Each structure stands twice: as C-alpha cells, then as structure tokens.
C-alpha cells in the first residue's frame, strides 16, 4: 500500500506519485526494519500484498503463519484501469496455506461518480476471481488526488457501491495524517471498520496505537525469515479478517478463531459417536476429559466405549457408553471397586465394607470375600458362604439375630455342634436353638438367656 505516515512528533513525507498500471511507490524511508519473531513487538495478524511482492508460495505463507499471521489482504485493482496480474495466484496460495483472504483497491477518485466507477471496477474483478461475498473489501484511501472537501461523501459512495454489489464486509484503509489533513469522517462505516496506518519508530506490544479502530498497520518494512521481500504487517483489533473459520486450518482445529479445546462436531476427524471428537489446543486428545457430569476416555479425539484405561499411574474402566465407572462393578467374572468419591480409579489391596460384608481387593484389584456371609457363587445355600480374613470359616457366627453354624463357609442345617467346650443344636434352617427342644424323641434344654448351649 502507498502511504504517508504521521509518527509521534513528526511527519514522515514520502513519495506519493503513482504510475497507472504499476505498483505505487512505497514511502518506507525512516520506517524501522522488523524481523518477524522479534520479541516485544505488536502482533502480526495480517499482511497485505500487491504485485510488488510477486508470487508468494504456499510454503512462504505457511512460514508467515508460524509468526502469527492469520490473514492476507491482496491488492486487486487501482483507479479504473489497473488489475494486479498476480492476484489470482496470491489468493489461491494463501487459501491453500489456510489463511483468511481479503482484498483492497487503491483509490484515485475525486468525485462521487468516480468513486462509484472505481468501486464497480473493484467488485467486478473480485467476482471474476470468485471471491466470496463475505470477503473483506477495503478502500485504500491515501492517494493525494482523493484529498478534497468531498472526500467523506466520496468514500461513502464507494462503500455503498461495493455493498450494492453484494460485498457487505467493507473497510476503509488510510493513515493518520491523511485524516488530520482532510477531516475524513468515518460515520459512513464506523471507526471499528477502519484500518489505520501509523508507524512508531520503536513498535512495542506494550504500547499499542489506534486501538479505537478495527485494525492498525504498524510497520511496512517487515521481513519473515525464509521469505523473500518485505511486508506490511497489522494487528487486527476487531477481528475484521483475522477470525479463522471454524474447523481445520493448517492441521489445527479451530472454534471462534481459537485452537479448540472441548467436544466438537468434527466428522472429518472421525464419524464415530455422531461425529463428535475431543480437542485440546486444536489437536485430537488422548486421555480422560470431564464432560456432562463424568469422565470419558478419548483416543486421538475419539470417545472410547467399554474397556480398561490407564492414566495418572492408575487404572480405570469405562462402560459401553464411554463413562468412567465408580463403585463395585462386575467385569467379566470378577468384581472390582472404583471408589465412590469421584476419583474413579481401581482400588487394590484395600478392604471394602458393604453392610455386614467385607471384601478385600488383591494386587490386580479383584475383590475377594474377606469377612461375612458373602455371595461367591457356591452351590450351597444360594451361593453364599461365610468368610473370616479371606478364609472360609468353620464355626458359629452371629447373623440376622441369631447364631448359625458353618463348615468351610457353608451354613449347616440340622445337627449337633460343638464349640467353646459346649454342645449346641441347629435346626433345619441352621439356627442355634434355645429353650426346651425335642430331638430324636428326647427333651433337651438350651437355656433362655441367649447363650444357646445345652444344659
């Protein structure tokens, strides 16, 4: 772009004469040379290019991206008789590199009629290049021929004509001293749609200028390592163009112009689970993520279903819907315990009390009966047996209000029992009896004080 720039405390005068059908002479004298990647300078959201830059390869654009460039604004036309012969290739390569693309027209109009004619020339060329109607279309307003008392009305006419062609995403580019000299009024477009050029001698990210406008072009003499030539660079305050479309861009998945973190519809990655996948900083994620009240396990962004998982040096299990499990769970032929406090990890070498039953998990997390009358699938008494310290128990145990006799964990039914130096009798249901009992035609007395032994 052809510019005359007002610096703090001085006006930098530059060459403004431009030959038709050629690129405008740059006024870069005194503008500091900046190398992309220099610490402490403003962001380089946007570069603008013209035929002066020639063909810029996809590789060149990708190198710019590594320094934060998100968009390129390509010069299409000038006055009503010049078209940038490199525009089509500059646009195509920028898009292939994953950059947003805008367009600008270098204006020479001095009347409303001239402004409308130049706007038509601009939009006709944009249409021939198949630029979408939402493309940012910029009126580059800096040429001395445009400086007259009607400049605000002329710029408004240009803007209206561009919109009449269906390009409603418009902007005006100019520089600070131009505005001071012409009293250009931005009411036709609004300050937030203005792209202001002004170059500090020592650009700094801690001293950002022109933040009341949509964009600020802060240097016109920037080089990108590995890329031929120098470029204009701008910071896009209002996301006029640096907004990156949702979806994949140069290998990174974006939402709302930022590398995405979360569960997003992205069938291009995987159509499993309805096409939803998990991303962290724009990359498919592997591991657990908390979502909708529980944890899910993802591999390369894809939610997994039933299976064992390992994370944070712990083991977990997710069910057929991909949710991490808690509590006691039967998996295969074994039971496991995953806690009940929102931690979800498999417990090993721990005891678990459930009512009157105690279990203990082994080194692999398998729950083993430890103490109490516990279902273990045995053939007697509906599959229940009595355990003490993980061993099948022989002897009396108090359960459900009375004493029962067990042999190798199996509850015995009717019969004589001997324990603690006394004799007892259990009935047909295995309960120790009290009081007077007739057994095999004889009367016996077992007390009535809860001691159960035969007197």
- Is 351 a member of any domain? yes
Q: 142 with 179: CB under 8 angstroms? A: no
Dist. CA 248–CA 428, nearest whole Å: 74
Q: Do 107 and 78 fall into the same domain?
A: yes
- Is 260 a member of any domain? yes
Q: Do 43 and 184 fall into the same domain?
A: yes
- Is 242 a member of any domain? no
Displacement of CA 135 from its chain's centroid (Å)? 26
Residue 57, domain CATH: 3.20.20.80
The beta-strand segments (E) located in 237-383 are: 247-249, 252-255, 258-259, 262-265, 276-280, 283-284, 287-291, 294-299, 302-303, 307-311, 314-318, 328-331, 334-337, 351-354, 357-361, 367-375
Displacement of CA 247 from its chain's centroid (Å)? 11
- Is 169 a member of any domain? yes
Walking along the chain (455 residues) 10 residues at a time, the average pLDDT comes out as 40 31 41 96 96 95 94 97 97 90 97 98 98 94 97 98 97 97 97 97 96 97 97 95 72 79 93 95 94 94 95 95 94 93 93 81 87 85 87 90 92 93 94 94 94 94
- Which pLDDT tens digit goes with each residue over 86-142? 999 999 999 888 888 999 999 999 999 999 999 999 999 999 999 999 899 999 999
Q: Do 192 and 45 fall into the same domain?
A: yes
Residue 391, domain CATH: 2.10.270.10
Q: 404 with 411: CB under 8 angstroms? A: yes
Count of structural domains, the chain: 3
Per-residue model confidence (pLDDT) at position 194: 98
Structure tokens at 188: 């036709």
The dihedral region occupied by 404, where left means phi > 0, alpha psi between -120 and 50, and beta the remainder, is beta
- Is 158 a member of any domain? yes
- Residue 274: strand, helix, or coil: helix
Q: Do 196 and 340 fall into the same domain?
A: no
Q: Do 270 and 394 fall into the same domain?
A: no
- Is 11 a member of any domain? no
Dist. CA 135–CA 405, nearest whole Å: 87
Domain termination residue (choose one: 309, 326, 361) = 361
Displacement of CA 262 from its chain's centroid (Å)? 5
Q: Do 205 and 335 fall into the same domain?
A: no
Which DSSP letter does residue 161 get? Answer: H
Indicate the length of the chain as a whole number. Answer: 455
Backbone angles phi and psi of 234, in degrees to 5: -140, 155
Range of the domain at 344: 247-361
Per-residue model confidence (pLDDT) at position 13: 31
- Is 14 a member of any domain? no
Q: Do 267 and 349 fall into the same domain?
A: yes
Q: 48 with 104: CB under 8 angstroms? A: yes
Domain termination residue (choose one: 361, 396, 420) = 361
Dist. CA 264–CA 245, nearest whole Å: 14
- Which pLDDT tens digit goes with each residue over 376-424? 888 888 888 888 888 889 999 998 888 999 999 999 999 999 999 999 9
Q: Do 387 and 355 fall into the same domain?
A: no
Q: Do 159 and 57 fall into the same domain?
A: yes
Q: 279 with 261: CB under 8 angstroms? A: yes
- The count of other CB atoms within 10 Å of the CB of residue 277 is 26
Dist. CA 3–CA 141, nearest whole Å: 9
Domain termination residue (choose one: 361, 381, 398) = 361
Q: Do 77 and 217 fall into the same domain?
A: yes
Q: Do 254 and 337 fall into the same domain?
A: yes
Q: Do 337 and 378 fall into the same domain?
A: no
Per-residue model confidence (pLDDT) at position 26: 33
- Is 22 a member of any domain? no
| Burial of 2 (C-beta count, 10 Å sphere; 0-12/13-18/19+) | buried
């Amino acid at each position: 772009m052809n510019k005359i720039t007002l610096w703090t405390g001085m006006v930098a005068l530059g060459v403004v004469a431009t030959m038709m059908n050629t690129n405008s002479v740059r006024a870069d004298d005194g503008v500091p040379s900046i190398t992309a990647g220099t610490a402490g300078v403003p962001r380089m959201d946007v570069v603008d290019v013209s035929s002066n830059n020639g063909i810029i390869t996809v590789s060149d654009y990708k190198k710019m991206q590594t320094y934060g460039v998100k968009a390129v604004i390509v010069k299409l036309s000038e006055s009503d008789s010049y078209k940038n012969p490199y525009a089509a290739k500059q646009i195509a390569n920028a898009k292939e590199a994953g950059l947003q693309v805008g367009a600008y027209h270098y204006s020479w109009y001095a009347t409303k009629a001239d402004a409308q004619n130049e706007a038509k020339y601009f939009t006709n060329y944009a249409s021939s290049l198949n630029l979408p109607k939402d493309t940012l279309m910029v009126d580059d307003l800096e040429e001395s021929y445009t400086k007259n008392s009607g400049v605000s009305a002329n710029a408004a006419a240009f803007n209206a004509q561009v919109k009449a062609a269906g390009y409603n995403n418009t902007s005006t580019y100019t520089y600070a001293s131009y505005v001071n000299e012409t009293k250009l009024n931005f009411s036709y477009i609004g300050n937030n749609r203005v792209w202001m050029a002004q170059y500090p001698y020592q650009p700094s990210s801690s001293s950002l200028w022109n933040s009341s406008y949509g964009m600020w072009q802060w240097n016109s003499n920037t080089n990108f390592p590995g890329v031929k030539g120098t470029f204009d660079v701008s910071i896009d305050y209002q996301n006029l163009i640096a907004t990156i479309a949702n979806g994949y861009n140069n290998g990174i998945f974006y939402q709302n112009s930022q590398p995405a973190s979360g569960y997003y519809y992205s069938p291009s990655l995987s159509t499993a689970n309805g096409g939803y996948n998990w991303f962290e900083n724009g990359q498919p994620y592997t591991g657990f993520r908390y979502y909708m009240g529980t944890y899910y396990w993802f591999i390369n962004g894809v939610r997994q279903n039933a299976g064992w998982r390992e994370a944070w040096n712990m083991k977990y299990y997710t069910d057929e819907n991909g949710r991490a499990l808690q509590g006691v769970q039967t998996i295969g032929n074994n039971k496991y315990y995953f806690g009940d406090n929102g931690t979800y990890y498999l417990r090993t070498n721990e005891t678990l009390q459930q009512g009157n039953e105690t279990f203990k998990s082994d080194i692999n997390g398998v729950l083993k009966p430890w103490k109490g009358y516990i279902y273990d699938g045995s053939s007697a008494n509906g599959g229940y047996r009595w355990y003490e310290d993980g061993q099948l128990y022989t002897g009396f145990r108090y359960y459900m209000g009375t004493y029962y006799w067990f042999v190798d964990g199996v509850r015995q039914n009717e019969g004589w029992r001997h324990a603690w130096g006394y004799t007892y009798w259990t009935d047909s249901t295995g309960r120790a009896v009290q009081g007077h009992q007739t057994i095999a035609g004889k009367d016996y007395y077992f007390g009535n004080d809860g001691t159960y032994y035969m007197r």
